[in-house]
Chain A
Amino acid sequence: MAKMNKVFMLGLIFCVAGFSLFAGGQQDAAGDGAVSLTFFETMTSPGRTATIQGIIDDYKAANPGAEINLISPPYEQADNKLTLMLTSNQDLDVVEVRDHTIKQFVNNGKLMDLSGYLKDWDEAGDLLPLANSAARTVDNTPYLIPQFFFVKALFVRTDILKQYGYDTMPATMEEMYEMAIAISGENAAQFGFGFRGKGSSFKISDVMILSDLDNIDPANVYKTSDGKFSFNNDVAREAVANYVDLFRNAVPSDGINWGFNEQVNAFISGTTPFLIQDPDTVALVNEQLGEENYTVIPIPVGKSGRSYLDYGFAGLGIPSYTKKADEAWDFISYMTGAEKNAEFCKAYGPLPIHGASYASDPYFSSGVYKAWETTMSDTDTYSFIKYPLDSPKYPGWAQVQEQYMQSLLIGEITVDEAIAKWSGYWEY
């Protein structure tokens, strides 16, 4: 009896240990002849995932036997989860890379150089210059094919402005500030500008502030052409002070805690008729407000006569360790080809990557999208700049910028002190 118990226990121990060992095992690939890819989405939202799934279904219809498993983690955790999966070489074949994650993936050797595929792709020649630039963000090497661009533009509540006697749009940032301040306080619930106080707020504040400078380094928005920190000069100092003035005179005090939801809601409700946002906001505004009550114009120019615009993007890459690179590329070229790319961008809202989409599809060159068509084509006025995405300091910048900007806005520190803190962070 005792001996039997011991044998039983030993068996149980081995079973538990064995289970633990295999707990992390990978799923076997599909049978011979069938292509099975794993696609990891990072900018997840229900509507977006449905659109991607639709494109996958179309691809499967065109490629019988193909199977694509879409992984769609919650938006807040997706970048981190992808980082962990790539680091441990988990089974992935197509990954959605963000503009702020591409550098780390390349640093860690996780993305494949797509030069060879790009060379043979018959649609490569029609990619916008911006698309080629985005693809080559790191080491001038194409580690991804961008899917779309987010470029900021000014959303304007034309109906609200009309109530206050304004029939024309602001042509300069200065005019926008004046209009926003002028209509604020006319009644208790009326303010002028849809502020962004948290959550990468620098992507809006710095667009507005640095537009006064005429010597921004296109390769790094935080440097002037002489290599110094962009904010460390009299022009920028005054521009920051004007920005603070706008906050104090045209924004509810609550604005310091406004993220995307709050600023868009304030625009839709009419509280703030000016909103700087990306094109994916169009669908949301159309749905809740209606197209007749607002328009979109390019970002007004600063005192320099220009606007400096970031182009946010995400793209599709292939993990360097995958054994199905050719199959992965076949899907990527399908999804980022002009036809499917335009379809995706219409459903989801951002800007497509092919020149053909703007030339042949009126959707992307008329209506509110004309603002972006203008921004894309008028390169003398609208300069595309880059954030220092390749710097290891970039990931921490959002928090540093935000805390000192907030401190400045509530009057705890001066403009000079804030600029000194930011300059100290970048060490330019």
Chain B
Amino acid sequence: MISERNTHRFMLVPAALLLILFIYLPVLKGATMAFQSYNMFDLSNLHFNGFENFINVITNPDIRFLQILGNTLVWVVGSLALQFLLGFLLAMLMKDPFKGRGLYSGLVFYAWALSGFAIGLTWAWLFNGQFGLVNDIFIRSGILKEPVGFLSSPRLAMISVIIANVWYGIPFFGIMLLAALQSVPGELYEAATIDGAGRFHQLFSVTIPYIRPTIISTTLLRTMWIINFPDIIYAMTNGGPVNRTNILATQMINKIFKEYDYGQGAAIGVIIMVLLFAYASFYLKMSSRKEGDV
């Protein structure tokens, strides 16, 4: 018995080593950089500088941290809500077998395989104020009289990048929720029908409660993904116009890739991790509490 337990522990050691080497050490290194004056422009000046990177990121008037934070919130909430709702709708439509479903699902879920940057470039052209397909359709159908610069408008730029991100993320929810929906036992629907429940009531009394764990885990994962996903914004607007679409992740990219300031870039990364950790803790706590009540 004792030797059996030891064997299990030995089995875990290689995986633990790999995790430590390839995930935790890099994260630790990154977090350490956040407290260093670590700028590739001149590494001879490398030194620990306490919280200076964080103070600079938050208070530098050229960075507009509060605006970036607000943008990040809008980007995440807007993208997540629409991705989830449309993904759920898609999953509901796909749940019942129909002719050609396999082919259709392949086509629909294809977006999932595309590079975020490539998607951003494509949508940048779709929304282009002079040549874009969106303007062409709106003008031909009479909705617009003259072209709109969607990506250059302070009011419309964030909506535009969210639309692109929603298009990209629907397949994720579609796939996950479809799998969850297919696992709901048919007997539950039969019982509900016998009790006189209509479709709407069945949705909220049977379907959603049953797939609740999947909803919780996928929305949590997706939130983390969206907040760390600068590709589409970068390709479409570069964070503009006037920082209207600059989020924490795009600002982090700017710091590292354009300014070579790994210290401040890492500080933004740490801020993102702290926000996500707080969010995940709160989210899971609220979720488990509700579950307990039920």
**Interface residues, chain A, with chain B CB atoms under 8 Å away:** 2, 5-6, 9-10, 12-13, 16-17, 20, 76-77, 79-80, 83, 87, 103-104, 107-108, 188-189, 197-199, 252-257, 259, 262, 265-266, 269, 271, 392, 395-396, 398-400, 402-403, 406-407, 410, 412, 421, 425
Distance to closest chain A CB from B9 (angstroms): 9
Q: From residue 234 to 276 of chain B, which have CB atoms closer than 8 A to chain A?
A: 237-243, 254, 256-261
A interface majority secondary structure: helix
| Listed A/B pairs (10) with beta-carbon separation below 8 Å | A5-B10, A107-B43, A107-B44, A252-B149, A253-B129, A256-B152, A257-B129, A257-B240, A399-B62, A410-B242
A253-B149 contact, Cβ under 8 Å, with A83-B260, A403-B243? yes
Cα–Cα, bound, A103→B260 (Å) = 12
CB < 8 Å: which of A79, A108, A253, A392 contacts B257?
A79
Distance to closest chain B CB from A418 (angstroms): 11
Q: Is the CB of A256 within 8 A of B40?
A: no
Q: From residue 97 to 156 of chain B, which have CB atoms closer than 8 A to chain A?
A: 117, 124, 128-131, 146-147, 149, 151-154
Chain B's interface size range is 35 or more
Q: Is the CB of A20 within 8 A of B21?
A: yes
A5-B238 contact, Cβ under 8 Å, with A252-B129, A254-B130, A399-B254? no
Q: From residue 34 to 89 of chain B, which have CB atoms closer than 8 A to chain A?
A: 39-44, 62
> Which residue of chain B has the shortest Cβ distance to A110 in the bound complex?
B43
Q: Is the CB of B40 within 8 A of A87?
A: yes
Cα–Cα, bound, A262→B124 (Å) = 10
Please name all residues of chain A whose beta carbon is closer than 8 Å to the beta carbon of B41 when the two chains form the complex.
103-104, 107, 392, 395
Distance to closest chain B CB from A195 (angstroms): 10
Distance to closest chain B CB from A138 (angstroms): 12
Cα–Cα, bound, A198→B242 (Å) = 10
CB < 8 Å: which of A13, A20, A188, A395 contacts B260?
A395
CB < 8 Å: which of A17, A265, A412 contacts B131?
A265
Q: From residue 1 to 54 of chain B, which have CB atoms closer than 8 A to chain A?
A: 3, 6-7, 10-11, 13-14, 17-18, 21, 39-44
Cα–Cα, bound, A197→B129 (Å) = 13
Q: Is the CB of A87 within 8 A of B17?
A: no
Q: Is the CB of B240 within 8 A of A198?
A: yes
Q: Is the CB of B242 within 8 A of A406?
A: yes
> Which residue of chain B has the shortest Cβ distance to A20 in the bound complex?
B21
Q: Is the CB of B241 within 8 A of A266?
A: no
Cα–Cα, bound, A108→B262 (Å) = 15
Q: From residue 152 to 186 of chain B, which have CB atoms closer than 8 A to chain A?
A: 152-154, 157
Q: Is the CB of A9 within 8 A of B130?
A: no
Please name all residues of chain A whose beta carbon is closer than 8 Å to the beta carbon of B243 when the two chains form the complex.
403
Q: Is the CB of A254 within 8 A of B11?
A: no
Q: Is the CB of A398 within 8 A of B258?
A: yes
A87-B62 contact, Cβ under 8 Å, with A256-B241, A266-B130, A399-B254? no
Cα–Cα, bound, A10→B11 (Å) = 10
Q: Is the CB of B17 within 8 A of A80?
A: no
Q: Is the CB of A255 within 8 A of B17?
A: no
